[in-house]
Structure formats: C-alpha cells, structure tokens
Amino acid sequence: MAAGLQILGVAAAYYVAARIGLLQELVRGQVTPLWPPTGVALVCLLLWGGRVWPGIALGAFLVNAPIGPSAVAIVAITTGNTLAPLCAYGMLRRVGFRVELDRLRDGLALVLLGALAGMLVSATIGSAALRAAGAIEASDFWGVWSVWWTGDAMGVLVIAPLLLVLRTARRPRDVPVRRYVEAGALLISALAVTVTVTRVPINLLFLVFPFVIWAAVRFQLGGAAWCVLGVTGLAIHAAAVGAGPFAGQDLLVKMITLQAFNGSAALTGLLLAALTTERNLAFQLLERATRQLSDVATELD
C-alpha cells in the first residue's frame, strides 16, 4: 500500500513538473529549454530507489499521451523519459554518489553522468520517435535532438540540486539577521540584473555570474540552487519571447546562446558550492583533530 502511494506520488510530481516545463515550449509542444521532470525523476530514484520507476513511466505517459503525434511515438517517448533517469541513477550509484553533494566529485558525477550522459537516452529515443512519426523533418532532427538533450540535462542540473537541498531544509538557529539580509539582497540583485541583461539588445549575460559565485561561496548549495533557478528561469522566458540578446535569432542560435548561459550558471553554482562545502568540512575536521591533539598533549603534561 505504501509503495503504491509512493509510486502515485512520483507520477503526480513528474506530471506537475512537466506541465510547468511545457509553459516554455519551443519545439512541437514537447521540447523545452529546461525539462524539470528529469530532475524530479532522478531525485526520486536517488532517495527511494529503483522501485519507483513505474511512477516515472506513468507520469511520462500522462504528459505525452495528449501531445504525442502517434501511439507508437507516445510509447517510445515515454520509454525514453523513463530509461534516461534510470540510466543516470545506475551510473551515479556505481560511482558512490552522495545526495548531500558535499564533495566536488559528487558535483562532477551529477554533471557528467546524471545530466550529460544519462539524458542522451531520452533525447535520442524521443527525437527518433518524432522523426519516425513524421512530426519533424530529417533536416530538423539534430536541432530537435540538441534542444531535447540540453533541456533534459538542464532539468537535472537546475532542479535536482534544489530538490536535494529542500529535502533537508531546516531553519537554522542562532543565525545573525545580517545573514538573512545578505541572502535577500543577493537574490534580489541577481534577479534584477538578469531581468536587465535579458532586455537589452546586446549580450551582457556574463554580468549575472558574480552573483552566482557569491551565492555558492557564501551560502553553498542552498544559495547557489535558488540563485541558478531564478536566473535560468528568467533567461528561458526571455528566449521564449525573443527578447534582449535572443531577439531575431533562429532556434539553433537561440538555444546555443541560452544553454551556454544556463549551463555555465548551473555548473558554476553547483561545482563551486560543492567545492566550498568540501573545503569547509575539511577545515572542521582539521580543527577537531587539532583540538584533540591539544587535549592529549595537555593530559600528558
């Protein structure tokens, strides 16, 4: 009974995440620059194990059934959407991935295995299904494939770290008010700068990166995850409406510009946050060992 409810919960979470992702569709109502369900599915697998895969399959089917070009394509796309997070989950388990993301190696594993390698499966199967159903032309295949792959990968890079942070979120005690003020000022500044640079006709997206770095160094994964979500969301909206540096670009150029920015922001935030956390933990262990040695020396004296 509990397992069944868990599977239904995963299906519901996948479906809701997909509906949110489809609000910024760019290709055939099925391909978006950021596909949140991939992050949701992978986190569910990491936390609850492979037994919840039917929930992912059910959620994917419910999303694709109304918009798929044919019954065969719906089944194929659903299969790809299910296999991709399962493959990513299997590869992450093999390398000893830790959901705390407190080591640089875990951040790199999530990028290389969870996002880039794992999502090749869904992009390839999905694009092939659309081509076989006649939904896209042969000349458009690689363009659709690249959008699909990067969108699924961004879903992992942006959504998975945020969900892993939220699962252990607690209101910290004895935190100075200035820390809350700093966090609020950081997020508001990052969003304000992103809104500005996505409305001017020249490419000034690089101005956002100091805020992503600030968030990762000062607030580690929690700060970086929220900052990256905000700035990538605003950039995706600008690309969808053709504003600012995305104005007048065809799909391929627009996606290269958008995903180069989104990917760089997500990588900077995730890896720098993991590295900072690992460094802080190492310093804490060193301080603890130093105190123990000092205590032992005092006792010997």
For residue range 115-127, what is the model confidence (pLDDT) as tens digits? 999 999 999 999 9
Residues 115/70, Cβ–Cβ less than 8 Å: no
The pLDDT tens digits of the residues spanning 76-92 come to 999 999 999 999 999 99
| Number of helices and strands in the chain (H, E) | 11, 0
Q: Is the pLDDT of residue 145 over 60?
A: yes
The pLDDT tens digits of the residues spanning 257-298 come to 899 999 999 999 999 999 999 998 888 888 887 887 776 767
Band of residue 62 on the pLDDT scale cut at 50, 70, 90: very high
- The whole-model pTM stands at 0.90
Band of residue 25 on the pLDDT scale cut at 50, 70, 90: low
Q: Is the pLDDT of residue 29 over 60?
A: no
- Give which of 261, 253, 215 is closest to 234, Cα–Cα: 261
Q: Is the pLDDT of residue 28 over 90?
A: no
- Mean pLDDT for 43-64 is 95
pLDDT score of 142: 86
pLDDT score of 170: 67
- Mean pLDDT for 174-190 is 89
CA distances from 144 to 25, 67, 149, 167 (A): 12, 16, 9, 34
The single-letter DSSP state of residue 110 is I
Mapped onto helix, strand or coil, the DSSP state of residue 172 is: coil
Q: Where are the alpha helices (DSSP H) in 177-250?
A: 177-197, 209-241
pLDDT score of 256: 86
Is 22 or 162 the better-scoring residue by pLDDT?
A: 162
pLDDT score of 155: 94
- Give which of 67, 66, 58, 6 is closest to 37, Cα–Cα: 58
